[in-house]
């Protein structure tokens, strides 16, 4: 994963639990400043180790850490650094989700060789969509739940995930969500 993701994990831990907590997690995960260069890529194992250590050190479940991180990633990392891109690709959370593949493609020149996920949106009714997530990585569905919640917060909307089903997807992970806007 790109270092910007590592940095975002560090920022979240420092903001919510303090610098000392981050130092402990970094030491446990074997992470140092050289893993925090935004535009460098690293083995996915580094980020999984960071999440694992955060789980252990903070007494949270992996699902709690990943959901919290998804929410933080949109409402802090992206909101502070990429707000205009979010606004360009969506005037609502549903529109942003519909345009996510285009958004990730548009930044390929910056994040060369990265492996973004794929999202497909099907409209059920004006306030209801099906969202299918596909990734070459496993285990990040809770991260997506947090991202969806963060996107709703970014647009000041109230959106709930009312259904979630795993889809068989060899060499990665795929999930279908039903999203309802109130």
Residues that bind ligand HEM (CB under 6 A): 1-2, 4-5, 41, 74, 78, 82, 85-86, 96, 100, 103-104, 107, 111, 114-117, 135-137, 140, 143-144, 147, 151
Beta carbons of 35 and 8 less than 8 angstroms apart: no
Task: Assess contact for 39 and 2: CB atoms under 8 A.
Answer: yes
Shortest approach of ligand HEM to residue 1 CB, angstroms?
4
- Angstrom CA distances, 74 to 8, 42, 80, 131, 172, stand at 10, 21, 9, 17, 23
Q: How far is the CB of 118 from ligand HEM (least distance, A)?
A: 9
**In the complex with ligand HEM, which residue's Cβ is closer, 25 or 103?**
103
The C-alpha angle 156, 157, 158, rounded to 5 degrees, equals 130
Return the SS3 of 120.
Answer: strand
* Closest approach of ligand HEM to the CB of residue 97, in Å: 6
How far apart are CB 139 and ligand HEM at their closest, in Å? 9
Q: What share of the chain is helix, strand, coil (3-state, %, to 5)?
A: 55, 20, 25
Q: Which is nearer to ligand HEM, 137 or 178 (CB)?
A: 137
Q: Which of 123, 136 has the CB closer to ligand HEM?
A: 136
Considering beta carbons, is residue 56 or 115 the nearer one to ligand HEM? 115
The nearer residue to ligand HEM, 22 or 89, going by C-beta atoms, is 89
Query: Residue 24 or 48: which CB sits closer to ligand HEM?
Result: 48
- Note whether 155 and 79 are within 8 A (CB): no
> Smallest gap, in angstroms, from Cβ of residue 24 to ligand HEM?
25
DSSP strand E in 54-144: where? 118-125, 128-135
Place of tokens 């593949």: 101
Q: Please, what is the minimum distance in Å from the beta carbon of residue 5 to ligand HEM?
A: 5
């Amino acid at each position: 994963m790109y270092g910007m993701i590592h940095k975002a994990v560090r920022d979240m831990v420092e903001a919510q639990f303090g610098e000392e907590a981050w130092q402990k997690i970094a030491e446990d995960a074997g992470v140092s400043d050289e893993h925090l260069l935004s535009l460098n890529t690293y083995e996915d194992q580094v980020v999984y180790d960071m999440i694992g250590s955060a789980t252990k050190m903070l007494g949270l479940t992996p699902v709690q850490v990943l959901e919290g991180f998804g929410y933080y990633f949109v409402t802090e990392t992206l909101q502070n650094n990429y707000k205009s891109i979010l606004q360009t690709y969506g005037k609502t959370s549903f529109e942003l989700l519909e345009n996510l593949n285009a958004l990730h493609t548009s930044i390929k020149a910056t994040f060369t060789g990265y492996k973004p996920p794929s999202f497909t949106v099907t409209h059920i009714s004006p306030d209801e969509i099906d969202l299918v997530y596909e990734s070459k990585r496993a285990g990040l569905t809770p991260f997506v739940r947090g991202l969806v919640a963060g996107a709703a917060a970014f647009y000041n909307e109230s959106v709930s995930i009312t259904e979630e089903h795993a889809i068989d997807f060899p060499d990665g992970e795929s999930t279908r969500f039903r999203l309802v806007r109130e």
